[in-house]
Structure 1
Amino acid sequence: MTAAAVPPLALVSGPEEVLVERAVARLVGAARASGADVIRIDAAGYEPGALAMHASPSLFGGTTCLVVRGLHESPDELQLDLLALLGAPVEDVSIVVTHGGGMKGKKVLDTLKKLGAEVIECPAIKSDRDKSDFVLKEFARARRKITSDGVRALVEAVGKDVRELASACAQLIADTEGPVDDAVVDTYHGGKVEASGFRVADAAVAGQAGEALRLLRHAIASGVDPVPIVAVLASQLRQLIKVGSAGRGSSAQLAKTLGLAPWQVDRARRAVGHWTADGLAVALQAVAAADFEVKGGGRDPVYAVERAILTITRARAGH
């Protein structure tokens, strides 16, 4: 990168730490490529006057990039020092500020924006829709293709933690060739707790009692706790109810409205036609009872999940 790639002021805004780290790394990389010295300043433990000292011209000349992390947790002294520096900018000094959200540091944020800082948004990645979009972007950035089933399998297997999801994408991109589908994902991540739970839930919702019980026993034998399996069962049933009562519309439209990923809408649509409202109510009650038992209310957690699975498969229309 050249010096022109380094903005004099940059604000990295949002709570998603993985995205924040990437944005800061890109800006720091650009600064270093231009020959700048990079100085990192954390809000926690800030000493008054430190910013002015680091921004003062060096006897040897050169440029400096100040990276201020955690403005949302900063003491008043840091905010005042930042405002002073922004009010009287020093030549050859660029400033990168990160802010995780909230009202603290608002005056500094407003000043940065008024001065034309480059703003990089790092919104939280929480819903399965957000995670699916993240996976698609990771593969698109690497000019690789991942199928919709591959996205679904990856989010189900490692979607609890965005950092782990990013790492899993990087591993698949580095270690495989050609399109990545659910079979490829299963090879790398099929043994994860979440993946096991989703397989059990898929079979139960499809009315496949024998297969669901087989998968459950395999998961338990592999060390999977019954609690997350019950949580996935509940989640799958809630998705059926959401999609079943949402009416018509494209998968993308409904996904946006319901906070789901399009593949979740498609899967629920395929399944919901086999269910009645009464059947779903019975299934949810069974899962609620199992949830109570696996969290200490019953004597045999595994038996509680087995009983819930049998009730769910019987509650499905046609059983």
Structure 2
Amino acid sequence: MAARTTGKTTAKKTSVAIDQVAWHAVRPAPVVLVSGPEQFLADRAVRQLRDQLVAEDPSLEVHDLEADHYQPGELITLASPSLFAEPRLLRVVSVEKCTDAFLTETLRYLEAPADDTYLVLRHGGGVRGKKLLDTVRAGVGGGVEVVCTELKKDTEKHEFAAGEFSAARRRVTGGALRALVTAFSDDLAELASACQQLISDAADEITEATVEKYYAGRVETNAFKVADAAIAGRQGEALVLLRHALSSGADPVPVVAAFAMKIRTMAKVQGVYGPSGQLASRLGMAPWQVERAQRDVRGWSEDGLGRCIELLAETDAAVKGAQRDAIYALERMVTTVATRGAVGR
């Protein structure tokens, strides 16, 4: 295989002679280097590797080591052939904090890996252990590298969520994916958990309405923070949050989706009275969603709410290409919602 280079350096680039694959393409090899800062994807990759090996041989022995608390001789002891010659999976964490003994013994081990043994090295980043990483990447030990880079962009998280539903052979709409990414943008593990819950509980096709039913009111992301501030009448704060979200790479489409989820929920409870439990059953919502929407809609008029709903539709079209200035459309939407429909028309 021709050597490849990865990363940008100001000095000599590191030659890579092994396959570098994504977390979902992990496969058995004598040495599996799991690198990168995204711990959730690293855990997924190691778990998938274990499942593959167990499927091949249920007698697989699994041993865990901590490179930062490594005791001399541990690796060679665990890699030594057992009485019944069962295959072994050795999972090593904290390689980026490894002891000198671990570094020395692992480099020696790479020169002649044990038969039927799979050594997984989890390195989260940093310069510690660089000699070991360079050795693995140079092809010593016959390894493969699983690259677990952090998913920072909404498009990357969108692709991840789409992959969750595709793997489960479940249909999901684009609007549902956008809403999920908006609601769980800050935590990949929670995004994955939300996808799995919808896969387990929801109907055949997962739509934006399905996501709203399960997760409306979630306020942990920038988009929902903007919506909450605007609905509460804090116009200046909402505009600052919007500009910060956009400067941080937020996609305007999920921002509008967050507003739409909140405003539609408010419209459902406008002028409707009764215990939250009864209303929840009638409106297809959770009781806490009803109570939150009732608080949000206080002080709003039907005309103001109607104007905001109309403007949301216009803004949704604007950020999807109907207008040249999507940012202006977003700011007008925020101002209109913050004034409860009084301006912006």
Bucket of the pairwise TM-score, normalised by the shorter protein: 0.5 to 0.7
* Structure 2 match to 1:247: none
Determine whether 1:27 maps to 2:49. yes
- Distance of aligned partners of 1:48 and 1:230 in 2 relative to their CA distance in 1, 3 Å threshold: farther
Contact 1:37–1:63 (8 Å) recurs in 2: yes
Q: What secondary structure, in the 3-state scheme, does the structure 1 residue paired with 2:64 have?
A: strand
* Structure 1 match to 2:121: 97
* Structure 2 match to 1:267: 319
Contact 1:198–1:229 (8 Å) recurs in 2: no
Identity of matched residues, %: 33
Cα deviation for residue 110 of structure 1 reads 2.3
4+ long deviations beyond 3 Å: 197-203, 226-232, 235-243, 268-276, 305-314
Deviates more, 1:16-25 or 1:5-14: 5-14
* Structure 2 match to 1:54: 78
Determine whether 1:125 maps to 2:125. no
Deviates more, 1:143-152 or 1:160-169: 143-152
Contact 2:319–2:326 (8 Å) recurs in 1: no
Of 147, 150, 156 in structure 1, the residue corresponding to residue 182 of structure 2 is: 156
Cα deviation for residue 48 of structure 1 reads 2.0
* Structure 1 match to 2:38: 16
Contact 1:194–1:228 (8 Å) recurs in 2: no
Q: 1 or 2, which has the higher helix percentage?
A: 1
Number of aligned positions between the proteins: 251
Q: What secondary structure, in the 3-state scheme, does the structure 2 residue paired with 1:186 have?
A: helix
- Distance of aligned partners of 1:153 and 1:22 in 2 relative to their CA distance in 1, 3 Å threshold: same
Contact 1:200–1:216 (8 Å) recurs in 2: no
Q: What secondary structure, in the 3-state scheme, does the structure 2 residue paired with 1:15 have?
A: coil
Q: Could you tell me the TM-score, scaled by structure 1's length?
A: 0.66
Note the alpha carbon deviations across 1:61-93, whole angstroms, 9 max, x for none: 332221111212212221111111111322232
Aligned mates of 2:227, 2:73 — CA distance in 1: 59
Q: What secondary structure, in the 3-state scheme, does the structure 2 residue paired with 1:193 have?
A: coil
* Structure 2 match to 1:144: 170
Counterpart code for 1:267: V
Aligned mates of 2:152, 2:319 — CA distance in 1: 20
- How is 1:96-115 mapped onto 2 (pairs within 5 angstroms)? 96-113=120-137, 114-115=139-140
Contact 2:183–2:220 (8 Å) recurs in 1: yes
Determine whether 1:173 maps to 2:208. no
Aligned mates of 1:312, 1:235 — CA distance in 2: 24
* Structure 1 match to 2:278: none
Contact 2:219–2:225 (8 Å) recurs in 1: no
- Distance of aligned partners of 1:25 and 1:227 in 2 relative to their CA distance in 1, 3 Å threshold: farther
Cα deviation for residue 308 of structure 1 reads 10
Aligned mates of 1:312, 1:273 — CA distance in 2: 21
Counterpart code for 1:132: H
Q: What secondary structure, in the 3-state scheme, does the structure 1 residue paired with 2:85 have?
A: coil
* Structure 2 match to 1:301: none
Cα deviation for residue 275 of structure 1 reads 6.3
The Cα RMSD (Å) is: 4.0
Aligned mates of 2:250, 2:74 — CA distance in 1: 56
Aligned mates of 1:240, 1:20 — CA distance in 2: 24
Note the alpha carbon deviations across 1:212-268, whole angstroms, 9 max, x for none: 85x337xx9xxxxx999666423456489999xxxxxxxxxxxxxxxxxxxx99736
- Distance of aligned partners of 1:59 and 1:100 in 2 relative to their CA distance in 1, 3 Å threshold: same
